[in-house]
C-alpha cells in the first residue's frame, strides 16, 4: 500500500502541533507573566521533580523496547545524561582534556556550564550532574529536602497520571505506540514551554530569590532546540518502516499529549484553588 508522507505531515501539524497543550498552555502562559508567589514556584518545582524523576522509568523502558541497536543507543543517550553522564563534545582530545580538567576541579556541576551537545559515550559521570540533583539544589531554596521531592507520593493526582501515561505510551513495547508518544513529547517539549518557565523564573529570581539558579531550565531549553532539527528526518524514517501504522501512531501521540495537558492543567487548577492566580505582574 502506497503511503502519503505529505498527508501524514498535515495530520501531525493538526493533531500534534495544534494540540491545546502545544498552542494554548494556560499554566505556562500564566507562569511566564505572573508575579509568582513563592508557594507557586515551590509547587511547580515539586511536581516537576516527580514527573521528571518517574520519567526515568519510561526512558529505561523505551531503551529496552528499542527495535534497533541505533535507537537503543539514542534512548540511552537521553537516559544516561539524565542520570548524570555529561555530554562530551566530539572534538580534539586536547580540548576535551581541558574541559574535563575544568569540571573535575569543581565539587558542584552547574547545568549552566555543561555541554548540551555531543554524546555520553566516553563522557564523565558526576553525582552532581544528575538532572534530579539539579532539581534538589533548586528545591533547597524552598526548604525542600531529598525526601520532599521526586517520589510518586509527592505527586498530585494529575502529575501521577502524566507519569503513568509516559510509562504506558512512551515506554510501550508496541513500536507505533512508543514512536507516536515519543514524537508527540518532542513536539511538546520544543514548542516553547521551557522559555515560558524561564521567563517567569528569571523575574521571580530578580524580584524575590536572587540565589535561585535557573540553569536547569536553560540547559533543557538549549537541548530541545537541537532535538527539533532532526524531528522531521526521524519521522520520515519511522514512516518508511514496514511496521508503521499511522492510526496507532497518531492515537498514541494524542493520548500522550492529553497526559501532558493533564499535568499542566492540574498545576493551573491547584493555583486556582489556592487563590494564587490573580497575582498578575504589574
Sites of contact with Fe ion (CB under 5 A): 82, 131
Closest CB to Fe ion among residues 26, 76: 76
Residues 6+ apart with CB under 8 A from 73: none
Closest CB to Fe ion among residues 190, 250: 190
Closest CB to Fe ion among residues 42, 131: 131
Angle at 188 between CA 187 and CA 189, to 5 degrees: 95
Q: How far apart are CA 243 and CA 177, in angstroms?
A: 11
Q: How far apart are CA 159 and CA 145, in angstroms?
A: 19
Closest CB to Fe ion among residues 82, 186: 82
Closest CB to Fe ion among residues 19, 131: 131
Closest CB to Fe ion among residues 168, 222: 222
User: Would you say 80 and 181 are in contact if contact means Cβ atoms under 8 Å apart?
Assistant: no
User: Would you say 252 and 166 are in contact if contact means Cβ atoms under 8 Å apart?
Assistant: no
Residues 6+ apart with CB under 8 A from 118: 87, 88, 89, 90
Taking the complex as a whole, the smallest distance from the CB of residue 56 to Fe ion amounts, in Å, to 9
Nearest-CB residue to Fe ion? 131
Amino acid at each position: 500500500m502506497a503511503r502519503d508522507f505529505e498527508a501524514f505531515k498535515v495530520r501531525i501539524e493538526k493533531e500534534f502541533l495544534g494540540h491545546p497543550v502545544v498552542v494554548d498552555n494556560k499554566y505556562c502562559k500564566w507562569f511566564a507573566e505572573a508575579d509568582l508567589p513563592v508557594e507557586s514556584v515551590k509547587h511547580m518545582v515539586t511536581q516537576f521533580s516527580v514527573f521528571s524523576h518517574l520519567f526515568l522509568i519510561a526512558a529505561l523502558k523505551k531503551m529496552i523496547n528499542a527495535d534497533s541497536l541505533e535507537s537503543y543507543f539514542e534512548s540511552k543517550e537521553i537516559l544516561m545524561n539524565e542520570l548524570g553522564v555529561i555530554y562530551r563534545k566530539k572534538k580534539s582530545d586536547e580540548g576535551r582534556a581541558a574541559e574535563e580538567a575544568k569540571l573535575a576541579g569543581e565539587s558542584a556541576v552547574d547545568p549552566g556550564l555543561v555541554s548540551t551537545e555531543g554524546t555520553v559515550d566516553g563522557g564523565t559521570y558526576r553525582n552532581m550532574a544528575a538532572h534530579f540533583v539539579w532539581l534538589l539544589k533548586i528545591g533547597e531554596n524552598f526548604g525542600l529536602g531529598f525526601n520532599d521531592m521526586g517520589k510518586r507520593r509527592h505527586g498530585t493526582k494529575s502529575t501521577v497520571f502524566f507519569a503513568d501515561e509516559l510509562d504506558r505510551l512512551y515506554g510501550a513495547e508496541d513500536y507505533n505506540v512508543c514512536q507516536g508518544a515519543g514524537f508527540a513529547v518532542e513536539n511538546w517539549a520544543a514548542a516553547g514551554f521551557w522559555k515560558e518557565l524561564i521567563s517567569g523564573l528569571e523575574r521571580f529570581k530578580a524580584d524575590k530569590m536572587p540565589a535561585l539558579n535557573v540553569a536547569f531550565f536553560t540547559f533543557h531549553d538549549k537541548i530541545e532546540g537541537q532535538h527539533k532539527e532532526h524531528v522531521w528526518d526521524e519521522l520520515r524514517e519511522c514512516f518508511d518502516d514496514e511496521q508503521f501504522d499511522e492510526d496507532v501512531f497518531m492515537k498514541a501521540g494524542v493520548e500522550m499529549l492529553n497526559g501532558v495537558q493533564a499535568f499542566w492543567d492540574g498545576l493551573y487548577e491547584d493555583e486556582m484553588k489556592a487563590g494564587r492566580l490573580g497575582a498578575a505582574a504589574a
